[in-house]
Structure formats: structure tokens, C-alpha cells
Amino acid sequence: MKTHVKALVVGGGAVGTSIAYHLARHGWDEVMLLERDELTSGSTWHAAGLLPYFNMSYATTHIHDYSIRFYKTLEAETGLNAGFSVVGNLRMAQSKARMDEYLLYATTAETCDVPFEWLTPSEIKARWPLLRTEDLEGAIYHPTDGYINPADVTMAMAKGARQRGVTIERKWQVDGYEWTGAEWRVSVSKMVEKGGNLVPSEETAVITAEHVVTATGNHAQRTARMLGIKIPAIPVEHQYIVTEPDPALVAYRREGGGEHPVLRDADAKWYVREERGGWILGPYERNAPARFEYGVPDSFRADLFPLDLERIEEEYMSMIHRIPSSEEVGLKDDYNGPICYTPDGNPLIGPAPGLRNMWLAEGFSFGITAAGGAGEYLAQMMVAGEAEIDMASLDPKRYGDWMTTDYAARKNEEAYEHVYILHHPDEERPACRPLRTAPVYDRQKARGAQFGQVNGWERPNYYGSAEAEEDFDHAARSFRRGGWWDYARTEAEAIRNGVGLIDATAFTKHLVKGPGAAAFMDWFTCNRLPKTGRINLTYALTGAGTTRTEYTVVRLAEDSFYLVSAGAWTGYDGDYLRKAAEDRREELGWIEVQDVTTQWGVFAVAGPKSRDLLGALVKDADPATVLSNKRFPWLSCRDIELGMVPVRAIRVAYTGELGWELHHPIEMQTHLWDRLMEAGEPLGLKLVGARAQNWLRQEKSYRAFGHELGRDATPLEADLPRFVDLSKEFHGKAEMQAKGIRSRCVTVLIDGPSDADPWGREALYLGDGTRVGRLTSGGYSVAFGKSIGMGYVRPDLAKAGQALQVRMLGQLWDAVVTEDSPYDPENARIRQDG
Ligand SMILES: Cc1cc2nc3c(=O)[nH]c(=O)nc-3n(C[C@H](O)[C@H](O)[C@H](O)COP(=O)(O)OP(=O)(O)OC[C@H]3O[C@@H](n4cnc5c(N)ncnc54)[C@H](O)[C@@H]3O)c2cc1C
């Protein structure tokens, strides 16, 4: 066995095999894959092999699309037939809401070039007469996907990998990792059979590797322990059953009927496909338990759990309803295996938190579908530094250190159960909540706050009525304007006309200080550094010149910086920042990086009356001028006292009105809140949630991370040249410039339907039907009284007045590109003196 390689891939399931293949295909030699048992002996062997396109995430849709296209090429390359049956995929809808879900999904599919068709119930019946269709609303049909043999496709990728020089070693288990500072020393043991179990023998070795990728499936918890990190990938039981041949199906096929597409009755929570004249039924039932929370026992190899028929009775009965002929057929086989999940159902692909050259590819629940694309995009990241699509939504660091085993297990059970729920874009899932709460949580709740969860934090989305029923928010969800919409509109108007308070405690906050801090920050971010007491909006770039993080930087002192970034991304931002500081310390001088997120609460007060609100509380020798433009100009930071609370006040407002962010010691939060409520009463202070804020920031064309800002676009493509100082050198500058402008960020106002706004994933067209871009944000503008959105278009179309069309709910609606910041473009309201 080789003892030194460039890349060691651990795990010989579909995912690990694809990664090894793609690393070789991207030109890396010396790639080795280790598998503790046989290839495919993990979850891969018992997968049903379905390759569904349908996915609400942009990145995952690209990944699935890559796989489906790639698997079709494998036979020509390797001579092995991967058993891909391109039978298509029919996703049925029993309700109008479900059709709305498909219409929303279709927007993502459209922007990723995924083919689909719409079918009416009678069209379904005409093509597949065995199906009962009278209670259906319709269906979306993907003609180009289907199902594959999971073992065969893995073997074909393994052959392709070997042909490209990859070494594959079976029956070797990784038992430990040690980073030497330059490479990984990986301890491995030869595995042997003992009493039916697979156990390590005394034959051991050490392999050194420049890079390691873990793709260990159900063994992710053991991998996490070995690496000393947290990986929220824990399997859940998933079963499917195979029936005896169905005489009606056999006759239908004998008479020339084509194979049924993979059938999905999402409302009934199952998939069904043909299998040798019978049916495979795969339910996503309630109460499927998490397994192996602390690791897979040695005794569990390519094993299965016992079938739990009672748990899937409801789904079984509904299959009989949909395919009446299946009532008479008996069961032939059953599978109940571990299927890995993560709290949001998406895999963890990318650099491991805190570690160098360690890459994770864990937590795949649709791993056969995702393997091809995961291999390709991870290989792009490892070989070229970045993938062509933004992989942030799949990054392993999206879960912070606050995450525990119990959280992961319970959330993963929920993610499993939610596979077929209506994927409302305004959905908030209930498990493991509340968990991370600001001290004012109960006060907010008493005032009707309806919370969303961001990075584990409870954050008000909007304030409904204080008397609202417990499940008010659930009923308020919609693919159109939900029951919350009027609340958000009133909140947005309050900020435009009066004063509102937004709880932004979940913001990520880092302190960067020390002798090397200024030189480091100058190199790490692309805007010129602010002077002491001032603030700047700036970006840290990737090595490929795209946007890695957006920061509001406050310069507290010559060598001390307070960095504020999006609340959802604390682990993701912190990891990049810390690693970059470590890299430059020796050269630039000591740089200390502290995550102070949980030490500081943040209230944002905004609106024309916000100065009056703070003026009522501020303590100062000259309270009349302390908040004036002269003493406290826009884009500056001051330590002020509000009542008895020392506040780091920052004069910015993400809503585009006069406003301040009040960063305060978290332990004084309730006191500050109570004082603000008292002082706000006579001013009509309104509590405002994240949804209204999201609308308001679009009226100002403020880009949001994870939407307009991400690793697939540079700050120049985001059309933010005013925040890029080209006169200095900074990380990613040359790469950013080399990228040019492939597409450009714009804001659009839309004459849309009266009952819906865009969600930020819709395709943009020219009047002649040419697709020219996509939205990345959407909402409603109270200032303009119509729908608003932000997104990317062909650079030549990024000019104010350009007419476009937006596809929403299946129809095209007129839109027009606005000037940047259509609301108050001169910033006169933000600068308002007093
Ligand atoms: C009943 C069922 C049906 C499913 N149906 C579908 C479907 O239709 N479509 C779909 O896309 N997905 C399906 N899945 C999910 C799919 O099986 C998984 O997502 C996929 O197999 C994951 O592949 P993987 O390579 O990540 O993990 P695995 O296949 O589990 O591979 C991980 C490998 O890593 C090895 N390993 C672990 N630790 C070590 C170590 N320390 N050293 C060396 N080797 C190690 C293991 O032995 C294992 O072979 C289904 C799952 C189940 C349970």
C-alpha cells in the first residue's frame, strides 16, 4: 500500500468514490481511496437508486443536475453499465398549494436549465392508466431523470477512477488523524473478519497525505471524534418495501405500456417505482428514529434494521389508493437501513472547521443523486480553490460549536419527516426550539413575536398579535403572500415614517486586534480601512476573487477592529478569519481574533424619529448635540450611555433610514429594552422583524450575504465598486479583476400579481423570451407599492430603465431595472441632522 499521497479519500460509498474519480479527472495524481470494508458496503448498497432532480436549493439542484448528466457518460468512459433507467419522474400534487410549491421549484429548475413539463390529471391518466388521478390537481414531470443501480454506478466510478490513476484499497480502516503542520499522518488498520464482525487486525500503517477527504457516511460521528470537531451527520432509519408482481402492471407492460416514471405523491409522503413487475414503495413517514448517535457498532456491517410496517401503514394505504391494483399484491422484500441526515437535510461539503487541508463530504441523504456533483464541485474547490457555484449553503461550518448530538439527532429526524412537507419559503421548523435566545426573548414573545431560527438563534420574523394562537405562524405560511404579510408591511411603513426597533442580536461579531491587526485587515478586506471611530462596509474575498464575507468594520483604535457580519454565518466567517490571521501573524505581527458574538446584544433603531427615541434616554454633558451629525456623523461609532447602559452605538441602518445599531452588553439587554419601550411609547415605536427589514434593504439595494453576495460573484459583479479600493493590494484582488464582469447585480421593481411577491429565485427574461438572469432576493416595497427584487443579469442589461420580465407562478410579469438604491438614492434621510 502507498504510504504517501497527495489526497486520501476515506470511504468507498458512492460519494467517496466520486470524489476520488473527480480529483483525478481534475488532474491530481497520487489519489488513494480507503474503504474499511467493501466498496458500497455502507448506505450505498441498499439505496433505492432514485435520482430526483427536485430540490428547492440552487446549489443542490446544480449538484443533482451534474450527477444526472455525468452518470449518463460513465458507460462510454468505463465500459460498465451503471444501470441508469431514464424513466422520468412524475411528482403529483393533490392540492393547489402543492402546485404552488412546484411552480416555485420550477423557478429554480429554470435558472439551472433543468428540463420539466406540466401535466394535468387527465394527461397523467392517459399516459399511465393504472394511476387514480381524479383527486389530483396536476403534476410536474422531469423526463430526463429516473433511477440507477447504486452499486453499479459506484463501481463504474471506481473503474473510471482507477483508469485515471487512483489507488483503491479495501479492508483498511482509518483510526486516527494527526496534522503535522504540513500534511496529515493517517493511522490505518487492516480489517479482518472475526465472528461475523469486521474488526481491526494488528496489521497497521501510517499514510501521509497532503489532503484528506472524509466521506464516511454513517460513521461520521467516529470521524468527528477522531478529528476533534463536530459533524451534525447522524443517520435516521429509512425503509422501503418491494411488492410481488402486480398482475395489472405486468399486463399493462405486456400490452406495450412503457415503464412508469418514478412516481411521487408528495402529499401522501412516498415514492414508488416499478421493480420486476411489482412496485417499490419508499415512504418518508413520521417518527423514524435517529440511529448510531455515538457511532456505528462493529457488529453492524451491510446490515438492516427490522421492518416497521406499522410506522408506514398510512403511506402504504395511500399507495393502494393511488395505484388501486397494488391492493392485491403481497410483499416480497423490505429494506430498513440507516440514511444519513443533517439538521437542514443538505450535505456537509467543504473545508472542515478549524483544520487545514481536511475536507468533509458527509451527511448525504440523497447521496446517490448527489455523489456525482458533490465529487465534481468538491474537486473544483480542492484543486482550483473555489467551485463555480456558491457552495456556502452546504458548507460544514454552517453549524457552530453550540450544536450538540441531541440537537443533531432530533433535527435530523425532523429533516427526514419533512422531506415531503410543503416547502414553504417562509417555513420555520419546530424541532429543538427555542434553544439560543436573547435575554429579551420572553418580552418579544409577549408582544406577539413570531420567531425564525437562524444559526440556532430565535429571531423575530415579524410581530403578530400578542393574542395569536400558538400555531398562528404555521397557518400564516404560503407560497404567495402569507398571513404575516400585512404585519410586515405595517412594520416596514413604521420605519419609513416613524421609528422601529429590530433585534439584531444574532449578528456575528468578531474582535481583531494586536500589532499586526491593521496590516492584516488591510490585506484581508477590499475596502480602505476606516479611521478610528469610523466604520466601513467591506468584503473579504476568496482566493478566486469572489465574495467570502461581508463585514461592517468599526475601527475602535489604531490596532483594534470590531467586525460585524451576518448572523447565520458565525462559524463560517470565524473559521476563514482565524485561518487567514494565523497565516499572516508571523509576517505582520500578532493578530488576535475573538468571537464576541454572544457577549453583545444588538438592537437596531431606525426611522425619522429614531433620534428622538435615543435622545430621550441618552446621558451626556450636552444631550442635545450628542446625536447630531456634527458629534455623531453617519458611518461613525461612539460609546454612549443610554440610561444606565453603556452602548457602542454605530450610525448605520440596514433599512436606509436615519438609525443606529445599539451594541450593548448582553447582560443589560432586558434593562435597555425596557427603557427603549418606555421612551418609545409616546413616539409610536414599532417592533419590527426580519421580514420587513429584508424588504426595506432591497429598496436601498443593500446586498445580502447568501443572496446577492456569495462565492460565485465578485464585489465588482455585485456592483459595489465604491467599497473596493483598487489602489491597494488585498487578498483576491488580481483574481477578482481577472474574472471581469460576467453578470451584474441589479434591483428591479415588478408589476407582479396582486397576491404574491418574488422569493428571490425567479428567472429574469427579456420581452423576446431570452433568459438573461435570475433574482437572488425578492419581496414587497412599501415605498413603491409593488413587488421588488434583486438579482443578476447580463452586464449590458444592468442599466436603469431596462425593461425585463420575471417569471412568477408560471407567468411572466413586467419589471424594470431601477437605479441603485431606488429609495432615497442621495441618502438624505440617513444623513438627516437633528
Ligand atoms: C433504504 C434507503 C434507500 C435510499 N434510497 C436512495 C435513493 O433512492 N436515492 C438516493 O440518492 N439516495 C438514497 N439513499 C441514501 C443513500 O444510500 C446515501 O445517501 C448514500 O449511499 C451515501 O453515500 P456515502 O458514500 O456518503 O456513504 P456510504 O455509502 O455509507 O459510504 C461510506 C463508506 O465509508 C466507509 N468508512 C467509514 N468510516 C471509515 C473509516 N474510518 N475508514 C475507512 N472507511 C470508512 C464505510 O465502510 C462506507 O462504505 C437511501 C438510503 C437508504 C437507507
User: Can you tell me which atom of ligand 1 is nearest the CA of 366?
Assistant: 11
State in Å: Cα 121 to ligand 1 middle. Answer: 36
Give the largest Cα separation in the chain, rounded: 93
Q: Given pLDDT bands bounded at 50, 70 and 90, which one contains residue 301?
A: confident
User: Can you tell me which atom of ligand 1 is nearest the CA of 365?
Assistant: 19
State in Å: Cα 24 to ligand 1 middle. Answer: 21
In terms of Cβ atoms closer than 10 Å to its own Cβ (0-12, 13-18, 19+), residue 126 is exposed
Buried b or exposed e, range 423-451, using 16+ CB within 10 angstroms: bbbbebbebbeeebbbbbbebbbeebbbb
User: Can you tell me which atom of ligand 1 is nearest the CA of 239?
Assistant: 1
Given a contact cutoff of 8 angstroms between Cβ atoms, the answer to whether 659 and 653 are in contact is: yes
Identify the pLDDT of residue 725: 98
Rg (CA), the chain: 28
User: Can you tell me which atom of ligand 1 is nearest the CA of 240?
Assistant: 1
- CA distance linking residue 802 with residue 814, whole number of Å: 11
State in Å: Cα 18 to ligand 1 middle. Answer: 12
Nearest residue (by CA) to ligand 1, atom 50, is 47
User: Can you tell me which atom of ligand 1 is nearest the CA of 369?
Assistant: 11
Q: Please report how the helices 367-384 and 14-25 are oriented relative to each other, as an axis angle in degrees rounded to 10.
A: 30
State in Å: Cα 79 to ligand 1 middle. Answer: 24
User: Can you tell me which atom of ligand 1 is nearest the CA of 271?
Assistant: 8
Given a contact cutoff of 8 angstroms between Cβ atoms, the answer to whether 329 and 245 are in contact is: yes
State in Å: Cα 453 to ligand 1 middle. Answer: 29
* CA angle centred on 90, ends 88 and 95, rounded to 5°: 165
State in Å: Cα 355 to ligand 1 middle. Answer: 24
Q: Is 80 exceeded by the pLDDT of residue 334?
A: yes
One DSSP character per residue, 602-663 reads EEEEESTTHHHHHHTTEE-SSTTTTTSTTTS-TTBEEEEEETTEEEEEE---TTSSSEEEEE
Given a contact cutoff of 8 angstroms between Cβ atoms, the answer to whether 574 and 563 are in contact is: no
Identify the pLDDT of residue 470: 74
- CA distance linking residue 184 with residue 168, whole number of Å: 19
State in Å: Cα 364 to ligand 1 middle. Answer: 7
Q: In what order do the strands lie in the sheet with 618-619?
A: 618-619, 637-642, 645-650, 659-665, 600-606, 500-503, 686-688
Mean pLDDT of 416-424: 95
Nearest Cα to Cα of residue 522 among 220, 778, 749, 727 = 727
Q: Given pLDDT bands bounded at 50, 70 and 90, which one contains residue 362?
A: very high
State in Å: Cα 611 to ligand 1 middle. Answer: 58
pLDDT in tens, 716-735: 999 999 999 999 999 999 99
Q: What are phi and psi of 112, to 5 degrees?
A: -105, 10
Mean pLDDT of 191-203: 93
Identify the pLDDT of residue 95: 97
Identify the pLDDT of residue 298: 83
Cell of 785: 407599492
Cell of 757: 411577491
State in Å: Cα 374 to ligand 1 middle. Answer: 13
**Helix (H/G/I), strand (E/B), else coil: 414:** helix
Identify the pLDDT of residue 189: 98
State in Å: Cα 70 to ligand 1 middle. Answer: 19
Nearest residue (by CA) to ligand 1, atom 22, is 367
pLDDT in tens, 491-539: 999 999 999 999 999 999 999 999 999 999 999 999 999 999 999 999 9
Q: Given pLDDT bands bounded at 50, 70 and 90, which one contains residue 175?
A: very high
Identify the pLDDT of residue 331: 96
User: Can you tell me which atom of ligand 1 is nearest the CA of 15?
Assistant: 25
pTM above 0.85, yes or no: yes
Nearest Cα to Cα of residue 661 among 507, 529, 530, 782 = 507
State in Å: Cα 155 to ligand 1 middle. Answer: 14
One DSSP character per residue, 343-379 reads TTS--EEEEPTT-SSEEEEE--SSHHHHHHHHHHHHH
* Encoded amino acid at 689, one letter: G
Nearest Cα to Cα of residue 34 among 1, 57, 59 = 1
pLDDT in tens, 771-830: 999 999 999 999 999 999 999 999 999 999 999 999 999 999 999 999 999 999 999 999
Identify the pLDDT of residue 196: 84
State in Å: Cα 742 to ligand 1 middle. Answer: 38
Nearest residue (by CA) to ligand 1, atom 20, is 367
Identify the pLDDT of residue 687: 98
Nearest residue (by CA) to ligand 1, atom 35, is 11
Mean pLDDT of 615-630: 97
Q: Which residues' Cβ are closer than 6 Å to ligand 1? A: 10-16, 34-37, 41-44, 46-50, 173-174, 215-219, 238, 240, 335, 337-340, 364-369
In terms of Cβ atoms closer than 10 Å to its own Cβ (0-12, 13-18, 19+), residue 77 is middle
Nearest residue (by CA) to ligand 1, atom 33, is 11
Identify the pLDDT of residue 7: 98
pLDDT in tens, 2-34: 999 999 999 999 999 999 999 999 999 999 999
Count of Cβ atoms closer than 10 Å to residue 208 Cβ: 16
State in Å: Cα 12 to ligand 1 middle. Answer: 9
Mean pLDDT of 311-330: 97
Identify the pLDDT of residue 96: 96
Identify the pLDDT of residue 195: 86
pLDDT in tens, 110-141: 999 999 999 999 999 999 999 999 999 999 99
Identify the pLDDT of residue 302: 81
Cell of 150: 447504486
Q: Is 80 exceeded by the pLDDT of residue 469?
A: no
User: Can you tell me which atom of ligand 1 is nearest the CA of 337?
Assistant: 53
Per the prediction, the chain carries an average pLDDT of 97
- CA distance linking residue 734 with residue 737, whole number of Å: 5
Identify the pLDDT of residue 465: 83
Question: In which element (H, E) is residue 411 found?
Answer: helix 405-417
The best mutation among 22, 34, 43 to test binding of ligand 1, ranked by most ligand atoms within 8 Å of the C-beta, falls on 43
Q: Given pLDDT bands bounded at 50, 70 and 90, which one contains residue 203?
A: very high
Mean pLDDT of 485-494: 98
User: Can you tell me which atom of ligand 1 is nearest the CA of 154?
Assistant: 25
The stretches of 42-146 forming alpha helices (DSSP H) are: 58-71, 74-78, 96-111, 121-127
State in Å: Cα 345 to ligand 1 middle. Answer: 15
User: Can you tell me which atom of ligand 1 is nearest the CA of 16?
Assistant: 25
Given a contact cutoff of 8 angstroms between Cβ atoms, the answer to whether 553 and 561 are in contact is: yes
Nearest residue (by CA) to ligand 1, atom 26, is 217
Identify the pLDDT of residue 472: 84
pLDDT in tens, 553-566: 999 999 999 999 99
pLDDT in tens, 33-75: 999 999 999 999 999 999 999 988 999 999 999 999 999 999 9
State in Å: Cα 316 to ligand 1 middle. Answer: 25
* Encoded amino acid at 258, one letter: G
Nearest residue (by CA) to ligand 1, atom 31, is 13
User: Can you tell me which atom of ligand 1 is nearest the CA of 173?
Assistant: 42
Q: Is 80 exceeded by the pLDDT of residue 297?
A: yes
The best mutation among 32, 33, 37, 44 to test binding of ligand 1, ranked by most ligand atoms within 8 Å of the C-beta, falls on 44
